């Protein structure tokens, strides 16, 4: 297992040093790709976070700070982040993580709340750097996919790719199956448009019920906001599926790697 890469702070807005912009090397490998995309594929961070790193003067080539994320390269030779050399991208990998409630989907929290990375450092100390595919709220539990490949992360998160996410919500209040079925047409709440949601009332005990919801957008707190709009109070929320990958069989707090064959097959289905 390769040594763990240092953690980078995407929120560092220190000023960029004034330096000449290095030219991209030519290569027989083709026209190359933007540096933000290459670093994302190498698992450094998301494209947006990498752009912030570049603005902060933290990314360099042969010791000279890179000043624009539009820089085109054919390899990562000579590229450093915070002075540390960046390795060429490893094959894309995915891990299933059963996130417990009470953990933030973040690298750090300035108020001291526990994060998924603190937990993963304990249960998988030798794992390479991983990034979450999407997020789960502090009190949401269940399947959180992790990857070492920023481009795969981006593909899976984009609404345009139509990757389905399934949740089970325990909610208090009254709702009919007809109301839930109307969500298939989408709904607008306080000016925010949510796309189609396939929702079904699984079972009910008194005024408590379990509702299964499948959607493709994954907007911030989407499931909770939609159910609250219907007059329900969510007491527990679990993500059970992301694309073809299921939570089933994974203990709370545990992590395991998805088979390489399954990752390759799934990636071919992305638009």
* Domains of the chain from N-terminus onward: 33-85 (3.10.290.10), 94-159+246-269 (3.30.70.580), 164-242 (3.30.2350.10)
- Whether 3 has a pLDDT exceeding 90, the answer reads no
Question: What's the mean pLDDT when you consider all of the chain?
Answer: 86
* CA dist list (Å): 25 to 33, 97, 220, 224: 12, 39, 41, 49
What's the rounded mean pLDDT across residues 202-213?
90
Per-residue pLDDT of 12-32, as tens digits, reads 433 443 334 444 433 333 468
Per-residue pLDDT of 46-81, as tens digits, reads 888 899 999 999 999 999 999 998 899 988 899 999
Cα separation, 57 vs 19, in Å, equals: 9
Res. 264 pLDDT band, cuts 50 70 90: very high
Active-site choice (9, 82, 137, 198): 137
What DSSP element (H or E) covers 8? none
Share of the chain above pLDDT 70, in %: 88
Res. 2 pLDDT band, cuts 50 70 90: very low
**What are the φ/ψ torsions at residue 179 (nearest 5 degrees)?**
-65, -40
In sequence order, what are the residues at sequence separation of 6 or more whose Cβ sits closer than 8 angstroms to the Cβ of residue 190?
none
**What are the φ/ψ torsions at residue 207 (nearest 5 degrees)?**
-100, 5
Cα separation, 86 vs 234, in Å, equals: 44
What's the rounded mean pLDDT across residues 220-238?
95
Q: Quick check: 26 and 75 in contact, CB under 8 A?
A: no
Cα separation, 69 vs 37, in Å, equals: 9
pLDDT at position 113 is 94
- Whether 164 has a pLDDT exceeding 90, the answer reads yes
Res. 194 pLDDT band, cuts 50 70 90: very high
Res. 88 pLDDT band, cuts 50 70 90: confident
Judge whether 12 counts as a catalytic residue. Answer: no
pLDDT at position 42 is 83
């Amino acid at each position: 297992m390769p040594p763990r890469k240092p953690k980078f702070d995407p929120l560092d807005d220190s000023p960029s040093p004034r330096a000449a912009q290095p030219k991209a090397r030519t290569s027989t490998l083709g026209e190359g790709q933007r540096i933000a995309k290459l670093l994302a594929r190498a698992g450094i961070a998301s494209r947006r976070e990498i752009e912030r790193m570049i603005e902060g003067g933290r990314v360099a080539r042969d010791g000279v700070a890179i000043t624009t994320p539009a820089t085109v390269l054919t390899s990562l030779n000579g590229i450093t982040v915070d002075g540390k050399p960046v390795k060429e991208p490893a094959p894309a990998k995915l891990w299933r993580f059963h996130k417990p409630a009470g953990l933030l989907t973040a690298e750090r929290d300035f108020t001291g709340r526990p994060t998924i990375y603190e937990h993963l450092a304990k249960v998988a100390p030798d794992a390479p750097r991983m990034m979450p595919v999407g997020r789960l709220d502090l009190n949401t539990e269940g399947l959180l996919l992790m990857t070492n490949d920023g481009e795969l992360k981006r593909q899976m998160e984009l609404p345009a790719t139509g990757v389905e996410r399934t949740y089970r919500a325990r909610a208090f209040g009254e709702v009919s199956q007809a109301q839930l079925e109307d969500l298939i047409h989408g709904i607008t709440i306080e000016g925010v448009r949510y796309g189609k949601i396939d929702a079904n009332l699984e079972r009910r005990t008194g005024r408590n019920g379990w509702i299964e919801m499948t959607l493709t957008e994954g907007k911030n707190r989407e499931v909770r906001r939609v159910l609250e709009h219907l007059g329900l109070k969510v007491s527990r929320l679990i993500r059970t599926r992301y694309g073809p990958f299921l939570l089933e069989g994974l203990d709370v707090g545990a992590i395991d790697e998805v088979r390489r064959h399954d990752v390759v097959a799934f990636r071919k289905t992305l638009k």
